[in-house]
Amino acid sequence: MSAWVQASYLLSAALFILALKWMSAPSTARRGVLAGEVGMLLAIVGTLVRHDVVDYQWILIAFLVGSAIGVPLAYLMPMTAVPQRTALSHAFGALAAALIGTAEYYRHTPHGFVMGALVLETLLGFLTFTGSLMAFGKLQEILPTRPIVYRNQNIINLTLFGAAAALGVALVIWPEQTWMFPVFTGLALLFGVLLIIPIGGADMPTVIALLNSYAGLSAAAMGFAIDNKLLIIAGALDGSSGFILSIIMCRAMNRSFTNVLFGAFGQVQVSAAQTEKRPVRSATPEEAAEILDSARLVIVVPGYGLAVAQAQHKLRELYDTLTRRGVDVRFAIHPVAGRMPGHMNVLLAEAEIPYDKLFEMEEINSDFGQADAALVIGANDVTNPAARNDKSSPIYGMPILDVDRARTVMVIKRGMSPGFAGIDNELYYMNKTLMLFGDAKAFLSNLVKELAAVRA
């Protein structure tokens, strides 16, 4: 390898590490994205100038086809569909790694350590490919968002994975037995499907992070299989960061990995309390505007409903209107709000809401007691007091945003349907809570108009 290629790989690795560091904070996230992009460009160019490239024609064709698909996806994809697009990215990346592993196997039939890396690469790549497609289907609601369960599913899944792993070990010992590889591939693909379909929509943020980790580990194994040190570094960074993020997500929901993967969480719970028609208090935009106008501290809790309504820019208008009146407006971000890690941060950043007004759950929870109003927009399970008070609740023990401690709570919601966990939110029935029924974008627009009328 030439000195130039080695230098480009070294610089790429450094930029990947810096990208992860910078993307961990909203104020430096844009710099992190740019560093990652430059690092990837250097890695691609460095790889293309190596002497072992067979044919640049196919590389150019792939580049043009990929650009024709990827550029429209990036620009036309609505914010609500970013989780689905992320799942597709994991699927395509994992498939690329698995197909390269397959090609390497049939070209060289490697032995020993390299064969072990190739087996790991293809196993993780193929199961991540189909698993990510299932996650995409659930997020896009092509498949049911509820868990799809069947008798003895965990035993069947573990047996299937065990069979695939056993075939992988056999391939390492007897790589010449080529008949085993298609069977091994088929088991990995099937396991990816069966792994994800029993998981409910409430756990999709954790699942996306975990699939990202699998895709990264597959890329790292591919680096060992084809002797590419930069792939090892990049894959290890991706795999480890995805795994750490999965742990953070599980802690945010007070759940274990085994419960997420095998618990079939998210089926609608039916109880006597839910079947009763419980009274709620509602308010008009005029009434809500009067409460906000007299407030000194307002804490906004964004959720997936804000993304669905594409109301982030109207929320920015409300923020500007209140700030001009001297109201302190802060935004409380729960780790699993939305359908992917960081979904709400990206949504609010798109509306150019200042980074220093975004607070994580641990930073903001102590402020709710001093808040004159908490405005919840489309968030459900992450604000449910049952997580603290009801030991029989499936979300008991999950850390939540303490919105019920604000003086007044206002919730913008289309109706009274439950969240991903399938249970009623006790917050909605409290005396201090006002339900603001309607589309989030329209209601926020009306709020801004009524605030203007209050001071007119």
3-state helix/strand/coil string of 252-299? HHCCCHHHHHHCCCCCCCCCHHHHCCCCCCECCHHHHHHHHHCCCEEE
**300: its two tokens:** 């906004």
Judge if 228 and 311 occupy the same domain: no
In a domain, 247, yes or no: yes
We report the CATH number of the domain holding residue 319 as: 3.40.50.1220
Catalytic hit among 203, 238, 367, 381: 381
The pLDDT of residue 50: 72
Q: What is the pLDDT of residue 184?
A: 96
pLDDT at 126: 96
pLDDT of 24 reads: 78
270-303 burial: b if 16+ Cβ within 10 Å, else e: eeeeeeeeeeeeebebeebbebbeebebbbbbbb
* pLDDT of amino acid 121: 94
* DSSP label at residue 182: H
Residues β-bridged to residue 437? 413
Residue 172 lies in a domain: yes
Dihedral pair phi/psi, residue 359, rounded to 5°: -125, 135
Query: Position of tokens 């505007």?
Result: 289
Q: Which of 262, 295, 314 is where one domain is finished?
A: 262
pLDDT value of residue 420: 62
Residue 32 domain-assigned (yes or no): no
250 and 357 both lie in a single domain: no
Low-confidence stretches of the chain (pLDDT < 50) are 265-276
Q: How confident is the model at residue 242, as a pLDDT?
A: 86
- Rounded to an integer, what distance in angstroms lies between the CA atom of residue 10 and that of residue 3? 10
The tally of domains found in the chain comes to: 2
User: Residues for the chain: how many in total?
Assistant: 456
Among left, alpha and beta (phi > 0; psi -120 to 50; other), residue 200 is beta
The Cα 265–Cα 275 span in angstroms is 21
Catalytic (active site) residue 367 = no
> 194: which residues sit within 8 A by CB, 6+ positions away?
153, 156, 157, 160
Q: 347 and 224, same structural domain?
A: no
Domain limits at 440? Answer: 272-454
* Residue pair 203/340 in contact by the 8 Å Cβ criterion: no
**Dihedral sign computed on CA atoms, order 187, 209, 140, 266:** positive
**In this structure, is residue 60 part of a structural domain?**
no
Domain termination site, one of 262, 288, 309: 262
Residue 28 is assigned to a structural domain of this protein: no
Residue from 308, 311, 290 nearest 300 by CA: 311
Q: Of 198, 196, 202, whose CA–CA distance to 253 is shortest?
A: 202
Sign of CA dihedral 120, 202, 265, 381: positive
Clarify whether residues 198 and 91 are in a common domain: yes
